[in-house]
Amino acid sequence: MQHWFIDRQPIALPTWCEAFPESHVLSRAQVGLASGAGVLWFRLRSGELVDDLLPTAGPAVGQYFVVLSDEPDEEIVLQCMAAGAAGCCNSHAAPEVLRQVALVVANGGLWVGQSLLRRVMGGTARIIEQRQQSRSDDWSVLLSERETQVARLVAGASSNKEIARQLSISERTVKAHLTSIFEKLGLRDRLQLSLRINGLPL
Amino acid sequence: MQHWFIDRQPIALPTWCEAFPESHVLSRAQVGLASGAGVLWFRLRSGELVDDLLPTAGPAVGQYFVVLSDEPDEEIVLQCMAAGAAGCCNSHAAPEVLRQVALVVANGGLWVGQSLLRRVMGGTARIIEQRQQSRSDDWSVLLSERETQVARLVAGASSNKEIARQLSISERTVKAHLTSIFEKLGLRDRLQLSLRINGLPL
DNA sequence: GCCGGAACTGTACTTTGGTGCAATGGTGGA
DNA sequence: TCCACCATTGCACCAAAGTACAGTTCCGGC
């Protein structure tokens, strides 16, 4: 599963890199370079039209389009779906959200923002409210900011060397953070950490 | 993250056990026994009403309700949402799907079946058709039976030594299977394998 | 000023993970 | 029968992960 971020200028937001360290960033003219299974993330800047953004050919087999909108609203989301995208979310969404979107999309789901779902389904507001607060990142409150960054990268299957390069610190420091993380969360190794971060059982 | 399956009789379907080997099965009278963070899966049998199934109190903090319907239709899904459930799917859904649902729900998402989404959003049928065939079960068909067993255990964060003991083979054999798995699926290490098996991006 | 915590780094060490090469035995198809 | 694939294992080897011990700097609170 690969990830390509497509924008006017091939410059990635920090959150994108954090969500998918191995991702590629392309200018809109370079869309053709994206080959193989994966997600193509199209950034929609303010005032731009969805129809001008997405390739008219639609996604290739095994590929999925997601629109990252600077100013998302329900109208845009609907346009994205109609244009062949499998999802639409905020350009500045947190790394966890991006990974979540990728997960759903890559498994045949459609990612629909909660605001739209709420309007569209009606009468379900109370559940939605409720889950707003119970975003129990029990792990993230226990960790320091730096440790959280390391933990997220580990959860994405990055090696210590990659993490070190990404955060511009030594591999030794990465290990130090990890040892601290394992101790705080009562885990054994990076694989358990990955499951914990990704919200999987055990 | 724990899982409780609640049915008239405390008898689990094989798919449930496969999805969550550590899960508990409860009769409806025993719902109160479910404590701590996790997912409560309520089986809705044919002809039963959603409102009679779910506790009126709604889910506790860190807990999520999902309805497993023997005969799901769009009307039932809407009722489930209104009754405080975070998702609704088929009672006989494949283990991978159940894990998928759990993942989305536990991360604050709502699980909505594709048929409902399709009706509700309209005009997006073509994307939905397309993604029907390209599911990501691709890994299980590429692996031999033994390799699949090893892969599942690795995905659950077991060490080679543990897997060896579990399958009554030598640690060396476990490594051999893993090397073969990595080669077949084009992966680098057990962490990437875990993400792949658990249906996560990358 | 002192103290604790965080971030950072080094040397050295043990353990685990993963590969290469080699070998055995079974099974099922051409 | 021969061949391909699977499951199994041993030995050796290298790389990566993780730990132990020690040390630095910076920052904010008491």
Domain ranges, ordered by start, for chain A: 2-122, 138-197
Residue B122 has what pLDDT? 46
Kindly report the CATH number that applies to the domain delimited by A2-122: 3.40.50.2300
CATH fold of B2-131: Rossmann fold (3.40.50)
| CA-based max dimension of chain B | 55
- Nucleotides in chain D with any atom closer than 7 Å to protein CB: 5-12, 16-22
Name the nearest CA neighbour of A88 among A22, A30, A43: A43
Is the per-residue pLDDT at A190 higher than 90? yes
Q: Mean of the per-residue pLDDT values for chain B? A: 79
Name the least confident of A29-38, A83-92, B98-107: B98-107
Residue A43 has what pLDDT? 94
The CA distance from A185 to the nearest CA of chain B, in Å, is: 14
Write down the residue that tokens 């845009």 correspond to: A76
Buried b (16+ CB within 10 A) or exposed e, A170-196: eeeebeebbeebeeebebeebbbbbbb
Is the per-residue pLDDT at A93 higher than 90? no
Name the nearest CA neighbour of B151 among B194, B185, B184: B194
Domain B138-197: top CATH class: mainly alpha
Residue B175 has what pLDDT? 93
Distance from C-alpha of B174 to C-alpha of B171, rounded to nearest angstrom: 5
- Whether nucleic acid strand C comes within 7 Å of the CB of B192, the answer is no
Residue B100 has what pLDDT? 73
Within 8 A of A202 by CB-CB distance, chain B residues are: 1, 22, 156-157
Q: How far is the CA of A191 from the C1' of C21 (A)?
A: 30
Low-confidence ranges of chain B (pLDDT < 50): 118, 122-135
Within 8 A of B3 by CB-CB distance, chain A residues are: 201
Q: How far is the CA of B190 from the C1' of D15 (A)?
A: 15
Q: pLDDT-based confidence at A114, cuts 50/70/90?
A: low
Contact A195 B157 (CB under 8 A): yes
* Inter-residue contact A80 to A68 (CB < 8 Å): no
Contact B22 A202 (CB under 8 A): yes
